[in-house]
């Protein structure tokens, strides 16, 4: 059955490779099944969707996100990395505060200051998150934009010789909670979170092929000599980060942005030191990814 809210919803594509604004929705209120289906369709089509001017509590955010699947719990970092992975205000295991704010000199959340290289959320784990939901609570005066790249388009742009060469191959994804540097994988990596995923994946909802490689966490192609792996990965990072595949989200207070973590990679631009930024994040859990 349609209600007024179903009719009012408006999808405004950003006109680029991905990204659409959805208007006419108040996320603090339960969404009808019909509207939810429209949102899911828009999400599959545009990969990154957002709602402006939202005023949602943590509970409302989790209730909405939970309509798209099993909510993700924060992945536990090993003890030696725990301080880098999360802050002291992480009271709900399903919420991650993305923030540079400190309380008595101690970070309240994760990801601190500055820019962040392109990555897949929890790409280093067996089940990378399916979806991420980020709500803007406090913003700096400029910068701190989130960039999203369409990895279906990136896959299409991979030269045929590489598509053939990499078919059936996996890559090592590894993370030690640095934001602009990879883990050195030449030594013992057993105590750093890592997993191997296919270089090309089939999206479980759309059936389309996506490039599944990012500069921050994808360190080595399995079964390929290091020098060649480095060369191929450099080429794949460049393809994944081409400006024509990127939508840059310029945050406004109250923005609620949600992205498909299997069909996009994302990064963050720098922002002025000393200015506060606070976002509330939750996720939907994923399944092991397949070629
Ligand atoms: C994240 C993330 C980017 C940002 O929350 O996973 O990468 O702009 N955030 O804070
Ligand atoms: Mn992220």
Catalytic residue among 46, 74, 113, 119: 119
Residue 163 has pLDDT above 60, yes or no: yes
The tokens 């099944």 sit on which residue?
33
The tokens 């207070």 sit on which residue?
253
- Quickly state the pLDDT bin for 79 (edges 50, 70, 90): confident
The residues lining ligand 1, judged by C-beta closer than 6 Å to any ligand atom, are 98, 111, 116, 121, 132, 134, 146, 266, 268, 279, 281
Structure tokens at 67: 């309509």
Report, as an integer, the average pLDDT of 38-61.
98
Structure tokens at 125: 């784990």
The SS3 assignment for 156 reads helix
Closest ligand to the CA of 258: 1
- Report pLDDT for 82: 84
Residue 244 has pLDDT above 90, yes or no: yes
Highest mean pLDDT among 72-76, 85-89, 117-121: 117-121
127 in catalytic set:
no
The full set of domain ranges for the chain reads 8-291
Superfamily of domain 8-291: Clavaminate synthase-like (3.60.130.10)
119 in catalytic set:
yes
The tokens 């080595």 sit on which residue?
220
Q: Which of 77-91, 94-108, 235-249 has the lowest mean pLDDT?
A: 77-91
b/e map 201-212, b = 16+ CB within 10 Å: bebeeeeebbbb
pLDDT tens digits for range 181-205: 999 999 899 999 999 999 999 999 9
173 in catalytic set:
no
266 in catalytic set:
yes
* Overall residue count recorded for the chain in this entry: 291
In angstroms, what is the span from residue 217 Cα to ligand 1's centroid? Answer: 15
Minimum-distance ligand 1 atom for the alpha carbon of 281: 5
């Amino acid at each position: 059955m349609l209600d007024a809210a179903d009719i009012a919803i408006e999808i405004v594509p950003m006109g680029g490779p991905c990204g659409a604004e959805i208007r006419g929705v108040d996320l603090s209120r339960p969404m009808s099944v019909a509207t939810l289906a429209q949102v899911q369709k828009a999400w599959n089509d545009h990969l990154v969707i957002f709602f402006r001017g939202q005023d949602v509590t943590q509970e409302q955010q989790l209730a909405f996100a939970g309509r798209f699947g099993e909510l993700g719990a924060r992945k536990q970092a090993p003890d030696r990395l725990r301080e880098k992975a999360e802050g002291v205000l992480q009271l709900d295991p399903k919420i991650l505060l993305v923030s540079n704010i400190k309380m008595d000199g101690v970070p309240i959340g994760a990801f601190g200051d500055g820019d962040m290289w392109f990555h897949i959320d929890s790409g280093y784990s067996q089940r990378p998150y399916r979806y991420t939901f980020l709500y803007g609570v406090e913003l700096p005066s400029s910068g701190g934009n989130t960039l999203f790249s369409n990895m279906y388009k990136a896959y299409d742009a991979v030269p045929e010789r590489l598509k053939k060469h990499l078919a059936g191959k996996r890559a090592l994804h590894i993370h030690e909670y640095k934001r602009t540097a990879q883990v050195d994988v030449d030594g013992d990596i057993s105590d750093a979170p890592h997993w191997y995923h296919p270089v090309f994946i089939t999206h479980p909802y759309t059936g389309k092929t996506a490039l599944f490689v990012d500069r921050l966490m994808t360190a080595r192609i399995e079964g390929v000599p290091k020098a060649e792996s480095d060369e191929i990965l450099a080429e794949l990072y460049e393809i994944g980060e081409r400006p024509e595949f990127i939508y840059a989200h310029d945050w406004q207070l109250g923005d609620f942005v949600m992205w498909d973590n299997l069909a996009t990679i994302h990064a963050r631009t720098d922002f002025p030191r000393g200015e506060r930024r606070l976002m509330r994040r939750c996720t939907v859990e994923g399944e092991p990814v397949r070629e």
